[in-house]
Amino acid sequence: MDSAPLPEHNRAHHQDELLVCCLRCPILSLLTELSISGIALEPRVLRHLASCSIRSLSLEDLHEMPCAVFDVNANSLHFPVLRDVLIATGFVDLCIALFDSIARSTCALTHVDIDIKRETCTLAAFERVAEVLGTLPSIKQLDVRVVFGDHLVQFVPPSAISPFFALHALEHFALDGLFQVLLDDTTVIDMACAWPRIQLLDVYPEYEHRLYDPDSTDWGQWCPPAVTVPGLLPFALRCPRLQHLRIALGDIIGDTLPYSGPNAPFTFADLVDRPAHGLAELTVGGNPRLGPAAALEVAVQLSAMFPHLVDIYVDDPESVVQNHHEEWSSVDELCEARWAGVLPLHRVLAQVRLQERRGRIPRM
């Protein structure tokens, strides 16, 4: 006679028993990479994992524990050799509990990839994820993807990502998901000061512009980005290793181009006698409008900040600027091209700056 199927929680318990038995095998205990999916991790399994020589741990599609109980004490798991962690789960509380249980004294994590797959995350939960990750200062690469509930664009204030500013070793930081980060020039200063080693910075979630429809009433009110072009100056002064930057900019019209502010800590004069910044790629999100007479000034400011900039991408299929080779009959015509004219102007200015650094006079 066939036996009745095991209840879900008993099935998960037996899976954990099997996993522990495997990990206790003398040979398997030497594993350096481990991927686990489709089970409910019990605290004793995590304790055993902490004692293994695992350097790379992948946890995907984990089941929530019975009664949502996760009784590992905070800072009680020692992973002295663990470097890479990937978590893809629909249970944000499990993600929070796991990182909160890692002992800070022995943590040496360098790469963390988090994907909250179900639309169950709230802003408060996102802030809690940021808080626990902000206590692990060894992290060098951090990718966070979150989909909030209700299929609505969630507005994430600067305070929600401020715990990440404690990760001073960060070299790669990318946010992805259906939300908008409400950045401004002040937050850019905080980022630049917090992440002096940053090489790739992506704070413009991919789905923000791909799914947002300004003509739809289902998306609620849209908050225009507030970062200005001169607001990128702190990156040029404080982040010398930055190679790729993806950020939303506000409309470039009126008085947004002067670097204004009663107590502005940085000025373009600070660029004097500094090594030329090596930023190679800039992606401008937010689909900012560019004033008719602003192309030249934008190109001048970008050239001053990032003279090695090669590619500029704009979040607008009609305005994507990359390797532009069209012929322009005059500077006035080039300026009228707006965003499509910024990069060629920038390249001309960059060439002049290069010749000046080499002590040569351009041929007329």
DSSP state of 308: T
Q: Is residue 290 part of a domain?
A: yes
Measured CA angle at 84 (ends 175, 124), to 5 deg? 40
Predicted pLDDT at 111: 97
Q: CB-based contacts of 128: which residues, under 8 Å, 6+ apart?
A: 92, 96
Name 223's bridge partners: none
Q: What is the pLDDT along the chain (364 residues), one digit of tens a residue?
A: 444 444 444 444 455 555 555 555 555 566 788 888 877 777 777 777 777 788 998 988 876 654 444 556 667 788 888 999 999 887 888 888 888 888 888 889 999 999 987 666 888 889 999 999 999 999 999 999 988 766 556 788 999 999 999 999 999 999 988 788 889 999 999 999 999 999 999 998 865 444 444 444 444 456 778 899 999 999 999 999 999 999 999 888 776 676 655 566 788 888 888 888 999 999 988 878 887 778 888 988 998 899 888 888 886 544 434 434 444 444 444 444 567 778 788 888 877 877 776 765 555 4
For CA atoms 355, 359, 360, 362, give the dihedral sign: positive
Distance CA 257, CA 286 (A): 17
Distance CA 10, CA 6 (A): 6
Number of domains in the chain: 1
Q: Is residue 332 part of a domain?
A: yes
Distance CA 30, CA 38 (A): 23
Predicted pLDDT at 216: 46
Q: Is residue 128 part of a domain?
A: no
Distance CA 225, CA 104 (A): 36
Measured CA angle at 294 (ends 305, 337), to 5 deg? 105
Which amino acid would we find at residue 309? Answer: L
SS3 assignment, position 47: helix
Q: Is residue 87 part of a domain?
A: no
Direct distance between the N- and C-terminal alpha carbons of the chain, in angstroms, rounded to an integer: 95
Predicted pLDDT at 8: 45
Predicted pLDDT at 175: 93
Q: Is residue 334 part of a domain?
A: yes
Predicted pLDDT at 64: 63
Predicted pLDDT at 167: 97
Let me know: does 255 contact 212? Beta carbons within 8 Å: no
Distance CA 216, CA 81 (A): 49
Q: Is residue 305 part of a domain?
A: yes
User: What's the domain range around 327?
Assistant: 224-364
Q: CB-based contacts of 347: which residues, under 8 Å, 6+ apart?
A: none
Distance CA 207, CA 178 (A): 5
Let me know: does 97 contact 125? Beta carbons within 8 Å: no
Q: CB-based contacts of 34: which residues, under 8 Å, 6+ apart?
A: 49, 52, 54, 56, 57, 58
Give the H or E element holding residue 37.
strand 33-37
Q: Which two tokens stand for residue 283?
A: 């992606």
Which amino acid would we find at residue 169? Answer: A
Measured CA angle at 250 (ends 119, 175), to 5 deg? 30
Backbone angles phi, psi at 141, to 5 degrees: -130, 125
Prediction pTM value? 0.82
Distance CA 268, CA 229 (A): 12
Q: Is residue 242 part of a domain?
A: yes
Let me know: does 192 contact 234? Beta carbons within 8 Å: yes
Q: Is residue 8 part of a domain?
A: no
